Every structure is written in C-alpha cells, then in structure tokens.
C-alpha cells in the first residue's frame, strides 16, 4: 500500500498547519485559561471549509 499523501491532501494538511500556527497557537493559552469558546476562530475555519463533513 502507498501511504503517501496525494497533492490535494498535502495542500489541505499545509493549510491546516499554517492556520493553526498563525491563528490558533497565539491564543491557545488564553482560550485554555478562560474556557471561552473561540467563535471567531471557528468562523474562520468554516470559511476555509474546515468544519463539517462533506458527505450526506
């Protein structure tokens, strides 16, 4: 079996990593301490297609 990622899968992985590094990581400690739900981050993730399942 070939377990290498396809080009599309690699692009998705890279996008998710950049998002996490740029948006989530800087606020992670604050979110953990406050316990508040990051609605703004979830909204951004939704815009990028990172929320939900693409199947019926």
Quote the domain boundaries for residue 25.
Answer: 1-33
User: Which region, left, alpha or beta, applies to residue 54 given φ > 0 means left and ψ of -120 to 50 means alpha?
Assistant: alpha
Task: List, for residues 5-31, the tens digit of each pLDDT value.
Answer: 999 999 999 999 999 999 999 999 999
The answer to whether 45 and 16 have CB atoms below 8 angstroms apart is: no
SS3 at position 1: coil
Residue 56: pLDDT over 90: no
pLDDT band (50, 70, 90) for residue 4: very high
Give a yes or no: residue 41 inside a domain. no
The whole-angstrom separation of Cα 49 and Cα 46 is 5
Task: List, for residues 27-55, the tens digit of each pLDDT value.
Answer: 999 999 999 999 999 999 999 989 887 77
Tally the domains of the chain. 1
pLDDT at residue 20, as a whole number:
97
pLDDT at residue 52, as a whole number:
81
Token duo for residue 17:
């990593």
Give a yes or no: residue 50 inside a domain. no
Give a yes or no: residue 1 inside a domain. yes
């Amino acid at each position: 079996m070939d377990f290498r990622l396809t080009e599309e899968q690699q692009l998705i992985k890279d996008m998710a990593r950049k998002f996490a590094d740029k948006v989530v990581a800087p606020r992670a400690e604050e979110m953990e301490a406050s316990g508040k739900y990051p609605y703004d981050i979830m909204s951004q993730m939704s815009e990028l297609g990172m929320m939900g399942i693409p199947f019926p």
